[in-house]
Amino acid sequence: MLDPLMDASQKKVLADVGLNTAKMSGASYADVRIGRYLNQYVFTREDKVQNIVNTESFGVGVRVIANGTWGFAATSDVTEEGIKKAADQAVAIAKANASINTEPVKLVPVKGYGEVSWKTPIETNGFEVPVSEKVDLILSANAAAMEAGANFVNSALFLVNEQKYFASTEGSYIDQDIHRIWPTFGATAIDPQAGKFKSRQGLGAPMGMGYEYLVPQDSEKIASPAGFNLYRYRYDWLEDARMAGAQAKEMLSAKSIEPGKYSLVLEPNHLGLTIHESVGHPLELDRVLGYEANYAGTSFATLDKWESGNFNYGNEKVNLFADKQQKHSLGAVGYDDEGVETKEWDLVKEGTLVNYQAIRDQAHIINESESHGCCYSQSWADVQFQRMPNVSLRPGNEQYSAMDMVKDVEDGIYIAGRGSYSIDQQRYNFQFGGTVFYEIKNGEVTGMLNDVAYQSNTQEFWNSVTKICDESDYRLFGSFFDGKGQPSQISSVSHGSSTTRFDGVTVINTGRSI
Protein backbone atom coordinates (compact mmCIF):
# COMPACT_ATOMS: atom_id res chain seq x y z
CA MET A 1 0.00 0.00 0.00
CA LEU A 2 1.24 3.49 -0.82
CA ASP A 3 1.45 6.37 1.67
CA PRO A 4 -2.02 7.66 2.67
CA LEU A 5 -0.47 11.16 2.69
CA MET A 6 0.32 11.03 -1.05
CA ASP A 7 -0.36 14.23 -2.98
CA ALA A 8 -2.99 14.79 -5.67
CA SER A 9 -0.56 14.07 -8.52
CA GLN A 10 0.18 10.62 -7.13
CA LYS A 11 -3.53 9.94 -6.69
CA LYS A 12 -4.16 10.96 -10.29
CA VAL A 13 -1.68 8.35 -11.54
CA LEU A 14 -3.40 5.63 -9.51
CA ALA A 15 -6.87 6.79 -10.52
CA ASP A 16 -5.93 6.65 -14.19
CA VAL A 17 -4.85 3.04 -13.72
CA GLY A 18 -8.36 2.20 -12.50
CA LEU A 19 -10.12 4.20 -15.22
CA ASN A 20 -8.03 2.75 -18.05
CA THR A 21 -8.36 -0.81 -16.74
CA ALA A 22 -12.15 -0.48 -16.50
CA LYS A 23 -12.43 0.89 -20.05
CA MET A 24 -10.22 -1.84 -21.50
CA SER A 25 -12.34 -4.44 -19.69
CA GLY A 26 -15.52 -3.17 -21.34
CA ALA A 27 -16.84 -0.35 -19.14
CA SER A 28 -18.60 2.53 -20.87
CA TYR A 29 -18.16 4.68 -17.75
CA ALA A 30 -15.99 4.47 -14.64
CA ASP A 31 -15.14 6.51 -11.57
CA VAL A 32 -12.46 5.95 -8.93
CA ARG A 33 -12.55 7.26 -5.36
CA ILE A 34 -9.38 7.20 -3.26
CA GLY A 35 -10.27 7.98 0.34
CA ARG A 36 -8.59 8.50 3.70
CA TYR A 37 -11.10 8.77 6.54
CA LEU A 38 -10.07 9.93 10.04
CA ASN A 39 -12.25 9.88 13.15
CA GLN A 40 -11.53 10.93 16.73
CA TYR A 41 -14.09 10.46 19.51
CA VAL A 42 -13.60 11.53 23.15
CA PHE A 43 -16.09 10.19 25.71
CA THR A 44 -16.35 11.34 29.35
CA ARG A 45 -18.58 10.99 32.37
CA GLU A 46 -18.55 13.50 35.24
CA ASP A 47 -14.84 13.92 36.10
CA LYS A 48 -13.46 10.93 34.19
CA VAL A 49 -12.48 10.11 30.64
CA GLN A 50 -14.26 6.91 29.59
CA ASN A 51 -12.70 6.36 26.18
CA ILE A 52 -10.71 7.98 23.39
CA VAL A 53 -11.11 6.47 19.94
CA ASN A 54 -8.93 7.19 16.91
CA THR A 55 -9.57 5.44 13.60
CA GLU A 56 -8.08 5.69 10.13
CA SER A 57 -9.28 4.02 6.95
CA PHE A 58 -7.58 4.18 3.54
CA GLY A 59 -8.60 2.55 0.30
CA VAL A 60 -10.09 2.76 -3.18
CA GLY A 61 -13.60 2.21 -4.59
CA VAL A 62 -14.21 1.67 -8.31
CA ARG A 63 -17.67 2.09 -9.83
CA VAL A 64 -18.42 1.26 -13.46
CA ILE A 65 -21.18 0.89 -16.03
CA ALA A 66 -20.81 -2.13 -18.34
CA ASN A 67 -23.58 -3.43 -20.60
CA GLY A 68 -25.84 -0.73 -19.18
CA THR A 69 -25.48 -1.94 -15.57
CA TRP A 70 -23.68 -0.72 -12.46
CA GLY A 71 -20.79 -2.65 -10.93
CA PHE A 72 -18.70 -1.77 -7.87
CA ALA A 73 -15.62 -3.15 -6.13
CA ALA A 74 -13.26 -1.79 -3.47
CA THR A 75 -9.85 -2.59 -2.05
CA SER A 76 -7.52 -1.52 0.73
CA ASP A 77 -4.57 -2.45 -1.52
CA VAL A 78 -3.82 1.05 -2.74
CA THR A 79 -1.30 0.07 -5.42
CA GLU A 80 -1.51 -0.09 -9.19
CA GLU A 81 -1.97 -3.85 -9.03
CA GLY A 82 -4.64 -3.61 -6.33
CA ILE A 83 -6.60 -0.98 -8.24
CA LYS A 84 -6.40 -2.99 -11.49
CA LYS A 85 -7.92 -5.98 -9.72
CA ALA A 86 -10.72 -3.86 -8.24
CA ALA A 87 -11.53 -2.32 -11.63
CA ASP A 88 -11.64 -5.73 -13.32
CA GLN A 89 -13.85 -7.06 -10.55
CA ALA A 90 -16.25 -4.10 -10.83
CA VAL A 91 -16.64 -4.68 -14.57
CA ALA A 92 -17.17 -8.41 -14.06
CA ILE A 93 -19.89 -7.70 -11.49
CA ALA A 94 -21.61 -5.24 -13.85
CA LYS A 95 -21.59 -7.74 -16.72
CA ALA A 96 -22.97 -10.47 -14.47
CA ASN A 97 -25.73 -8.18 -13.23
CA ALA A 98 -26.60 -7.12 -16.79
CA SER A 99 -28.23 -10.48 -17.48
CA ILE A 100 -31.07 -9.60 -15.08
CA ASN A 101 -31.17 -5.83 -15.62
CA THR A 102 -34.27 -4.78 -17.56
CA GLU A 103 -33.60 -1.05 -17.46
CA PRO A 104 -30.15 0.20 -18.58
CA VAL A 105 -28.58 2.97 -16.51
CA LYS A 106 -29.22 6.43 -17.93
CA LEU A 107 -26.93 9.18 -16.69
CA VAL A 108 -27.65 12.86 -17.19
CA PRO A 109 -24.51 14.60 -18.43
CA VAL A 110 -21.89 16.30 -16.28
CA LYS A 111 -18.93 18.22 -17.54
CA GLY A 112 -15.38 17.18 -16.78
CA TYR A 113 -13.87 19.70 -14.37
CA GLY A 114 -10.23 18.80 -14.92
CA GLU A 115 -8.00 19.03 -11.83
CA VAL A 116 -9.80 20.96 -9.06
CA SER A 117 -9.85 20.98 -5.26
CA TRP A 118 -12.11 22.06 -2.39
CA LYS A 119 -11.55 22.33 1.37
CA THR A 120 -13.80 23.00 4.35
CA PRO A 121 -12.88 26.58 5.34
CA ILE A 122 -11.55 25.86 8.84
CA GLU A 123 -9.42 28.01 11.13
CA THR A 124 -8.11 25.23 13.39
CA ASN A 125 -7.75 21.55 12.52
CA GLY A 126 -9.31 19.73 15.48
CA PHE A 127 -7.06 16.71 14.93
CA GLU A 128 -4.03 18.92 15.62
CA VAL A 129 -5.37 20.18 18.96
CA PRO A 130 -3.85 18.15 21.84
CA VAL A 131 -6.22 15.59 23.33
CA SER A 132 -5.40 16.97 26.78
CA GLU A 133 -6.82 20.35 25.75
CA LYS A 134 -10.02 18.75 24.51
CA VAL A 135 -10.37 16.70 27.69
CA ASP A 136 -9.85 19.79 29.86
CA LEU A 137 -12.65 21.61 28.04
CA ILE A 138 -15.08 18.70 28.25
CA LEU A 139 -14.42 17.99 31.93
CA SER A 140 -14.77 21.70 32.71
CA ALA A 141 -18.17 21.66 31.05
CA ASN A 142 -19.15 18.57 33.03
CA ALA A 143 -18.14 20.31 36.25
CA ALA A 144 -20.15 23.40 35.31
CA ALA A 145 -23.27 21.28 34.76
CA MET A 146 -22.87 19.56 38.12
CA GLU A 147 -22.21 22.79 39.98
CA ALA A 148 -25.47 24.13 38.52
CA GLY A 149 -27.57 21.18 39.69
CA ALA A 150 -26.88 18.06 37.60
CA ASN A 151 -26.06 14.80 39.36
CA PHE A 152 -24.73 13.01 36.30
CA VAL A 153 -23.21 14.16 33.02
CA ASN A 154 -22.19 12.20 29.93
CA SER A 155 -20.27 14.07 27.23
CA ALA A 156 -18.65 13.36 23.90
CA LEU A 157 -16.72 15.17 21.20
CA PHE A 158 -16.75 13.80 17.65
CA LEU A 159 -14.24 14.90 15.01
CA VAL A 160 -14.29 13.71 11.39
CA ASN A 161 -11.92 14.38 8.48
CA GLU A 162 -12.65 12.96 5.01
CA GLN A 163 -9.81 13.26 2.49
CA LYS A 164 -11.40 12.26 -0.81
CA TYR A 165 -10.07 12.09 -4.36
CA PHE A 166 -12.48 11.48 -7.23
CA ALA A 167 -11.66 10.75 -10.87
CA SER A 168 -13.93 9.76 -13.74
CA THR A 169 -13.76 8.82 -17.41
CA GLU A 170 -15.51 12.15 -18.09
CA GLY A 171 -12.38 14.09 -17.25
CA SER A 172 -12.71 15.13 -13.59
CA TYR A 173 -9.92 14.87 -11.00
CA ILE A 174 -11.33 16.30 -7.76
CA ASP A 175 -9.41 16.52 -4.47
CA GLN A 176 -11.41 17.43 -1.33
CA ASP A 177 -10.61 17.83 2.37
CA ILE A 178 -13.74 17.86 4.56
CA HIS A 179 -13.99 18.51 8.33
CA ARG A 180 -16.89 18.09 10.76
CA ILE A 181 -17.24 18.52 14.53
CA TRP A 182 -19.92 17.70 17.11
CA PRO A 183 -19.85 18.45 20.86
CA THR A 184 -22.68 16.72 22.71
CA PHE A 185 -23.71 15.90 26.26
CA GLY A 186 -26.59 14.96 28.52
CA ALA A 187 -27.04 16.38 32.05
CA THR A 188 -29.31 14.53 34.51
CA ALA A 189 -30.73 15.75 37.82
CA ILE A 190 -32.42 13.43 40.32
CA ASP A 191 -34.92 13.80 43.14
CA PRO A 192 -34.31 10.76 45.43
CA GLN A 193 -37.30 11.48 47.64
CA ALA A 194 -39.74 11.57 44.73
CA GLY A 195 -37.91 8.85 42.82
CA LYS A 196 -37.70 11.09 39.72
CA PHE A 197 -35.01 12.17 37.30
CA LYS A 198 -34.89 14.62 34.41
CA SER A 199 -32.31 15.04 31.66
CA ARG A 200 -31.39 17.93 29.43
CA GLN A 201 -29.37 17.33 26.27
CA GLY A 202 -26.82 19.77 24.92
CA LEU A 203 -27.97 22.37 22.40
CA GLY A 204 -24.78 22.42 20.33
CA ALA A 205 -25.41 21.51 16.70
CA PRO A 206 -22.82 19.47 14.77
CA MET A 207 -21.12 21.65 12.17
CA GLY A 208 -18.86 21.59 9.15
CA MET A 209 -16.13 23.50 10.94
CA GLY A 210 -12.81 23.06 12.69
CA TYR A 211 -12.02 23.40 16.39
CA GLU A 212 -12.77 27.14 16.20
CA TYR A 213 -16.43 26.16 16.64
CA LEU A 214 -15.66 25.59 20.34
CA VAL A 215 -14.20 29.08 20.77
CA PRO A 216 -17.29 31.23 21.51
CA GLN A 217 -17.57 34.82 20.28
CA ASP A 218 -20.03 37.33 21.74
CA SER A 219 -20.79 38.57 18.23
CA GLU A 220 -22.40 35.19 17.49
CA LYS A 221 -24.83 35.34 20.43
CA ILE A 222 -28.57 35.24 19.81
CA ALA A 223 -30.83 35.78 22.81
CA SER A 224 -33.37 33.06 23.55
CA PRO A 225 -36.85 33.90 24.86
CA ALA A 226 -36.21 31.35 27.61
CA GLY A 227 -33.28 33.32 29.01
CA PHE A 228 -30.28 31.43 27.68
CA ASN A 229 -27.89 32.36 24.88
CA LEU A 230 -27.68 30.56 21.56
CA TYR A 231 -24.98 30.95 18.92
CA ARG A 232 -25.02 30.97 15.14
CA TYR A 233 -21.66 29.46 14.16
CA ARG A 234 -19.99 29.13 17.57
CA TYR A 235 -20.70 27.08 20.66
CA ASP A 236 -20.09 27.95 24.32
CA TRP A 237 -19.92 24.47 25.84
CA LEU A 238 -19.38 25.78 29.38
CA GLU A 239 -22.38 28.11 29.24
CA ASP A 240 -24.66 25.46 27.73
CA ALA A 241 -23.57 22.89 30.32
CA ARG A 242 -24.15 25.31 33.16
CA MET A 243 -27.62 26.12 31.89
CA ALA A 244 -28.34 22.43 31.31
CA GLY A 245 -27.56 21.59 34.92
CA ALA A 246 -29.91 24.31 36.16
CA GLN A 247 -32.65 23.38 33.68
CA ALA A 248 -32.48 19.67 34.47
CA LYS A 249 -32.96 20.54 38.14
CA GLU A 250 -35.81 22.91 37.32
CA MET A 251 -37.56 20.21 35.29
CA LEU A 252 -37.98 18.13 38.44
CA SER A 253 -40.58 20.57 39.74
CA ALA A 254 -41.92 22.02 36.47
CA LYS A 255 -45.62 21.63 35.86
CA SER A 256 -47.03 19.12 33.40
CA ILE A 257 -48.63 20.39 30.19
CA GLU A 258 -52.39 20.53 29.79
CA PRO A 259 -53.27 18.87 26.46
CA GLY A 260 -54.87 21.09 23.85
CA LYS A 261 -54.28 23.34 20.86
CA TYR A 262 -51.36 25.74 21.17
CA SER A 263 -49.19 28.15 19.26
CA LEU A 264 -45.70 26.64 19.03
CA VAL A 265 -42.58 28.78 18.86
CA LEU A 266 -39.95 26.37 17.56
CA GLU A 267 -36.26 27.18 17.88
CA PRO A 268 -34.01 26.11 14.93
CA ASN A 269 -32.19 23.43 16.91
CA HIS A 270 -35.58 21.81 17.39
CA LEU A 271 -37.27 22.55 14.06
CA GLY A 272 -34.33 21.07 12.15
CA LEU A 273 -35.32 17.54 13.18
CA THR A 274 -38.93 18.08 12.08
CA ILE A 275 -37.62 19.35 8.73
CA HIS A 276 -35.36 16.32 8.45
CA GLU A 277 -38.18 13.83 8.97
CA SER A 278 -41.15 15.56 7.29
CA VAL A 279 -39.32 17.19 4.35
CA GLY A 280 -35.83 15.77 3.92
CA HIS A 281 -36.68 12.07 3.81
CA PRO A 282 -39.99 12.17 1.89
CA LEU A 283 -38.40 14.23 -0.91
CA GLU A 284 -35.55 11.78 -1.56
CA LEU A 285 -36.45 10.57 -5.05
CA ASP A 286 -35.54 6.92 -4.45
CA ARG A 287 -38.03 6.81 -1.55
CA VAL A 288 -40.67 8.50 -3.70
CA LEU A 289 -40.16 5.83 -6.38
CA GLY A 290 -40.23 2.98 -3.85
CA TYR A 291 -36.63 1.96 -4.58
CA GLU A 292 -35.60 2.68 -0.99
CA ALA A 293 -37.46 2.09 2.27
CA ASN A 294 -34.82 1.31 4.89
CA TYR A 295 -34.75 3.36 8.10
CA ALA A 296 -37.11 6.11 6.89
CA GLY A 297 -39.71 4.29 4.79
CA THR A 298 -41.07 5.53 1.48
CA SER A 299 -42.96 8.80 0.83
CA PHE A 300 -46.44 10.28 0.65
CA ALA A 301 -45.10 12.90 -1.82
CA THR A 302 -45.48 10.67 -4.88
CA LEU A 303 -44.69 11.70 -8.46
CA ASP A 304 -48.33 12.37 -9.37
CA LYS A 305 -48.44 15.09 -6.71
CA TRP A 306 -45.37 16.79 -8.16
CA GLU A 307 -46.63 16.35 -11.72
CA SER A 308 -49.87 18.15 -10.86
CA GLY A 309 -47.85 21.32 -10.30
CA ASN A 310 -50.09 22.49 -7.46
CA PHE A 311 -49.61 20.04 -4.59
CA ASN A 312 -49.96 21.93 -1.32
CA TYR A 313 -47.07 21.05 1.02
CA GLY A 314 -47.59 24.12 3.21
CA ASN A 315 -48.90 27.66 3.09
CA GLU A 316 -47.42 30.54 1.08
CA LYS A 317 -44.92 31.42 3.85
CA VAL A 318 -43.18 28.05 3.47
CA ASN A 319 -40.11 27.97 1.21
CA LEU A 320 -37.94 24.89 1.64
CA PHE A 321 -34.72 24.44 -0.29
CA ALA A 322 -31.94 21.88 -0.68
CA ASP A 323 -28.22 22.49 -1.07
CA LYS A 324 -24.76 21.16 -0.29
CA GLN A 325 -23.09 24.57 -0.16
CA GLN A 326 -24.26 26.32 3.04
CA LYS A 327 -21.35 27.76 4.96
CA HIS A 328 -20.44 25.66 8.02
CA SER A 329 -23.11 23.03 7.28
CA LEU A 330 -22.42 19.31 7.60
CA GLY A 331 -23.33 18.72 3.97
CA ALA A 332 -21.06 21.42 2.57
CA VAL A 333 -18.73 20.11 -0.15
CA GLY A 334 -17.60 21.45 -3.49
CA TYR A 335 -18.48 18.30 -5.43
CA ASP A 336 -20.50 15.20 -4.59
CA ASP A 337 -19.23 11.62 -4.75
CA GLU A 338 -19.96 11.21 -8.43
CA GLY A 339 -18.12 14.36 -9.43
CA VAL A 340 -21.03 16.81 -9.71
CA GLU A 341 -20.49 20.39 -8.60
CA THR A 342 -22.89 21.17 -5.77
CA LYS A 343 -25.66 23.77 -5.89
CA GLU A 344 -28.89 25.03 -4.31
CA TRP A 345 -32.43 24.26 -5.55
CA ASP A 346 -36.03 24.70 -4.38
CA LEU A 347 -38.08 21.80 -3.03
CA VAL A 348 -41.18 23.66 -1.85
CA LYS A 349 -41.84 27.18 -3.15
CA GLU A 350 -44.51 29.34 -1.53
CA GLY A 351 -46.06 26.15 -0.17
CA THR A 352 -46.10 24.18 -3.44
CA LEU A 353 -44.05 21.02 -4.07
CA VAL A 354 -41.70 21.82 -6.98
CA ASN A 355 -38.82 19.32 -6.87
CA TYR A 356 -37.06 16.36 -5.24
CA GLN A 357 -33.48 15.28 -4.50
CA ALA A 358 -31.95 13.38 -7.44
CA ILE A 359 -28.55 12.15 -8.63
CA ARG A 360 -27.19 11.35 -12.11
CA ASP A 361 -29.08 8.11 -12.76
CA GLN A 362 -32.36 9.50 -11.34
CA ALA A 363 -32.58 13.05 -12.69
CA HIS A 364 -34.08 12.09 -16.06
CA ILE A 365 -37.09 10.60 -14.25
CA ILE A 366 -38.18 14.08 -13.16
CA ASN A 367 -37.11 15.75 -16.41
CA GLU A 368 -34.00 17.33 -14.91
CA SER A 369 -31.10 17.93 -17.30
CA GLU A 370 -28.46 17.65 -14.57
CA SER A 371 -27.90 15.98 -11.22
CA HIS A 372 -28.62 17.91 -8.03
CA GLY A 373 -25.19 16.93 -6.72
CA CYS A 374 -26.34 14.92 -3.69
CA CYS A 375 -24.60 11.56 -4.18
CA TYR A 376 -22.52 10.33 -1.24
CA SER A 377 -20.72 7.31 0.17
CA GLN A 378 -19.68 6.91 3.80
CA SER A 379 -16.30 5.47 2.79
CA TRP A 380 -14.13 4.22 -0.06
CA ALA A 381 -15.44 0.70 0.65
CA ASP A 382 -19.11 1.57 0.04
CA VAL A 383 -20.86 2.41 -3.21
CA GLN A 384 -22.14 5.97 -3.49
CA PHE A 385 -25.90 6.60 -3.75
CA GLN A 386 -28.49 9.34 -3.28
CA ARG A 387 -28.27 10.96 0.16
CA MET A 388 -30.11 13.85 1.73
CA PRO A 389 -28.43 17.22 1.14
CA ASN A 390 -28.93 20.11 3.55
CA VAL A 391 -32.68 20.80 3.56
CA SER A 392 -33.66 24.14 5.08
CA LEU A 393 -36.50 26.60 5.62
CA ARG A 394 -35.90 30.08 4.22
CA PRO A 395 -36.12 32.87 6.82
CA GLY A 396 -38.74 35.61 6.75
CA ASN A 397 -38.16 38.81 4.80
CA GLU A 398 -39.22 41.28 7.48
CA GLN A 399 -37.12 42.22 10.50
CA TYR A 400 -38.52 40.03 13.27
CA SER A 401 -36.77 38.31 16.20
CA ALA A 402 -37.71 35.41 18.44
CA MET A 403 -38.29 37.92 21.25
CA ASP A 404 -40.76 39.76 19.01
CA MET A 405 -42.49 36.48 18.20
CA VAL A 406 -43.09 35.58 21.85
CA LYS A 407 -44.69 38.99 22.43
CA ASP A 408 -47.29 38.12 19.78
CA VAL A 409 -48.30 34.78 21.36
CA GLU A 410 -51.23 34.59 23.78
CA ASP A 411 -51.20 30.89 24.64
CA GLY A 412 -48.20 28.92 23.43
CA ILE A 413 -45.10 26.84 24.07
CA TYR A 414 -41.49 27.63 23.25
CA ILE A 415 -39.51 24.47 22.35
CA ALA A 416 -35.74 24.19 21.98
CA GLY A 417 -33.61 21.15 21.20
CA ARG A 418 -34.49 17.73 19.84
CA GLY A 419 -36.28 14.95 21.70
CA SER A 420 -37.98 11.65 21.01
CA TYR A 421 -40.16 11.47 17.91
CA SER A 422 -42.23 9.13 15.79
CA ILE A 423 -43.32 9.35 12.14
CA ASP A 424 -45.06 6.85 9.90
CA GLN A 425 -43.53 4.98 6.97
CA GLN A 426 -44.76 7.54 4.44
CA ARG A 427 -43.33 10.46 6.48
CA TYR A 428 -46.79 11.96 7.02
CA ASN A 429 -48.35 11.48 10.47
CA PHE A 430 -45.96 12.34 13.28
CA GLN A 431 -45.30 13.21 16.90
CA PHE A 432 -42.30 15.23 18.15
CA GLY A 433 -40.97 15.99 21.60
CA GLY A 434 -38.09 18.33 22.47
CA THR A 435 -35.35 19.11 24.98
CA VAL A 436 -36.78 22.05 26.92
CA PHE A 437 -40.29 23.53 26.97
CA TYR A 438 -41.47 26.92 28.25
CA GLU A 439 -45.01 28.19 28.66
CA ILE A 440 -45.96 31.44 26.90
CA LYS A 441 -48.93 33.40 28.29
CA ASN A 442 -50.02 36.80 26.97
CA GLY A 443 -46.70 37.51 25.31
CA GLU A 444 -44.46 36.42 28.18
CA VAL A 445 -42.52 33.26 29.04
CA THR A 446 -43.96 32.20 32.40
CA GLY A 447 -42.05 29.04 33.31
CA MET A 448 -40.85 25.61 32.35
CA LEU A 449 -43.12 22.75 31.28
CA ASN A 450 -42.84 18.96 31.28
CA ASP A 451 -44.33 16.09 29.27
CA VAL A 452 -44.80 18.00 26.01
CA ALA A 453 -45.17 16.51 22.53
CA TYR A 454 -47.02 17.79 19.49
CA GLN A 455 -48.92 15.75 16.92
CA SER A 456 -49.72 16.63 13.33
CA ASN A 457 -49.26 15.53 9.76
CA THR A 458 -46.82 17.00 7.28
CA GLN A 459 -49.31 19.05 5.27
CA GLU A 460 -51.31 20.24 8.26
CA PHE A 461 -48.14 21.22 10.11
CA TRP A 462 -46.55 23.24 7.30
CA ASN A 463 -49.89 24.93 6.61
CA SER A 464 -50.03 26.14 10.23
CA VAL A 465 -46.97 28.43 9.86
CA THR A 466 -47.91 32.00 10.78
CA LYS A 467 -44.56 33.77 11.20
CA ILE A 468 -40.87 33.13 10.48
CA CYS A 469 -38.06 35.18 12.03
CA ASP A 470 -35.62 36.96 9.76
CA GLU A 471 -32.11 36.06 8.59
CA SER A 472 -30.47 37.35 11.81
CA ASP A 473 -32.05 34.42 13.71
CA TYR A 474 -31.11 31.76 11.11
CA ARG A 475 -29.17 28.79 12.55
CA LEU A 476 -28.29 25.19 11.73
CA PHE A 477 -29.41 21.91 13.28
CA GLY A 478 -27.59 18.75 12.22
CA SER A 479 -27.63 14.98 12.15
CA PHE A 480 -24.16 13.40 12.38
CA PHE A 481 -25.22 9.79 11.83
CA ASP A 482 -28.18 9.70 9.44
CA GLY A 483 -28.76 6.11 8.32
CA LYS A 484 -29.92 4.79 4.95
CA GLY A 485 -29.54 1.80 2.66
CA GLN A 486 -28.87 -1.91 2.90
CA PRO A 487 -26.07 -2.52 3.74
CA SER A 488 -26.56 0.60 5.83
CA GLN A 489 -24.49 3.74 5.47
CA ILE A 490 -24.40 6.93 7.54
CA SER A 491 -24.09 10.53 6.38
CA SER A 492 -24.05 13.96 7.97
CA VAL A 493 -26.59 16.63 7.08
CA SER A 494 -27.65 20.05 8.36
CA HIS A 495 -31.02 21.80 8.37
CA GLY A 496 -31.25 25.56 8.68
CA SER A 497 -34.14 27.74 9.80
CA SER A 498 -35.04 30.75 11.84
CA THR A 499 -37.37 30.51 14.85
CA THR A 500 -40.84 29.77 13.44
CA ARG A 501 -44.37 30.01 14.84
CA PHE A 502 -47.05 27.39 14.16
CA ASP A 503 -50.63 28.03 15.31
CA GLY A 504 -53.36 25.61 16.39
CA VAL A 505 -51.10 22.58 16.81
CA THR A 506 -52.30 19.63 18.90
CA VAL A 507 -50.17 19.13 22.02
CA ILE A 508 -50.42 16.00 24.16
CA ASN A 509 -49.18 15.07 27.62
CA THR A 510 -46.54 12.33 27.53
CA GLY A 511 -46.37 11.87 31.31
CA ARG A 512 -46.61 8.40 32.84
CA SER A 513 -48.35 7.54 36.09
CA ILE A 514 -47.82 4.41 38.17
* pLDDT tens per residue, range 240-258: 999 999 999 999 999 999 9
List % helix, strand, coil for the chain (3-state, nearest 5). Answer: 25, 40, 40
Question: What 8-state DSSP symbol labels residue 487?
Answer: T
Q: At what angle do helices 131-147 and 237-251 cross, to 10 degrees?
A: 30
Instruction: Provide the pairing of β-strand 375-376 with 385-386.
Output: antiparallel
Phi and psi for 238 in degrees, rounded to 5?
Answer: -65, -45
Note whether 237 and 228 are within 8 A (CB): no
CA distance 335 to 323: 11
My answer on whether omega of the bond before 389 falls inside 30° of 0, hence cis, is: no
Distances (CA, A) of 216 to 135, 154, 200, 241, 364: 17, 21, 21, 14, 45
Q: In terms of Cα–Cα distance, which of 233, 257, 155 is closest to 506? A: 257
Q: Which residues pair with 157 in a beta bridge?
A: 42, 183
Q: Above 80 in pLDDT, residue 292?
A: yes
pLDDT digits (tens, 9 = 90+) for 326-362: 999 999 999 999 999 999 999 999 999 999 999 999 9
Alpha-helical (H) ranges within 204-257 are 237-251
pLDDT band at 227 (very low <50, low <70, confident <90, very high): confident
Note whether 319 and 394 are within 8 A (CB): yes
Rg (CA), the chain: 24
Give CA torsion, residues 299, 304, 308, 309, to 10 deg.
Answer: 40
DSSP string, 343-382: -EEEEEETTEE---B--TTTGGGGT-SS--S-EE-SSTTS
Instruction: Provide the pairing of β-strand 436-441 with 411-416.
Output: antiparallel
pLDDT band at 34 (very low <50, low <70, confident <90, very high): very high
pLDDT digits (tens, 9 = 90+) for 184-204: 999 999 999 999 999 999 999
Q: In terms of Cα–Cα distance, which of 263, 295, 290, 262 is closest to 276? A: 295
Q: Above 90 in pLDDT, residue 2?
A: no
pLDDT digits (tens, 9 = 90+) for 68-112: 999 999 999 999 999 999 999 999 999 999 999 999 999 999 999
pLDDT digits (tens, 9 = 90+) for 372-427: 999 999 999 999 999 999 999 999 999 999 999 999 999 999 999 999 999 999 99
Give the chain's domains with CATH numbers. 1-41+48-105 (3.30.2290.10)
Structure confidence at residue 1 (pLDDT): 58
- What number of other Cβ atoms are within 10 A of residue 50's Cβ? 12
Q: Helix, strand, or coil here: 68?
A: coil
Please, what is the average pLDDT of the chain?
96
Structure confidence at residue 3 (pLDDT): 73
Distances (CA, A) of 493 to 205, 354, 457: 11, 21, 23
Q: In terms of Cα–Cα distance, which of 208, 192, 121 is closest to 479? A: 208
Q: Above 50 in pLDDT, residue 514?
A: no
Q: In terms of Cα–Cα distance, which of 86, 95, 183 is closest to 142? A: 183
Note whether 313 and 321 are within 8 A (CB): no
Q: In terms of Cα–Cα distance, which of 336, 338, 281 is closest to 484? A: 281
Those residues whose C-beta lies under 8 Å from the C-beta of residue 51, and which sit 6 or more positions away, are 41, 42, 43
Half-sphere exposure of 210 (CA within 13 A, CB side): 13
Average pLDDT over residues 452-459: 98
Q: Which helix (H) or strand (E) holds 303?
A: helix 303-308
% of the chain exceeding 90 in pLDDT: 94
Q: In terms of Cα–Cα distance, which of 11, 41, 33 is closest to 376? A: 33
Question: Which residue type is seen at 181?
Answer: I
pLDDT digits (tens, 9 = 90+) for 115-170: 999 999 999 999 999 999 999 999 999 999 999 999 999 999 999 999 999 999 99
Buried b (16+ CB within 10 A) or exposed e, 460-472: bbbbbbebbbbee
Q: Above 80 in pLDDT, residue 11?
A: yes
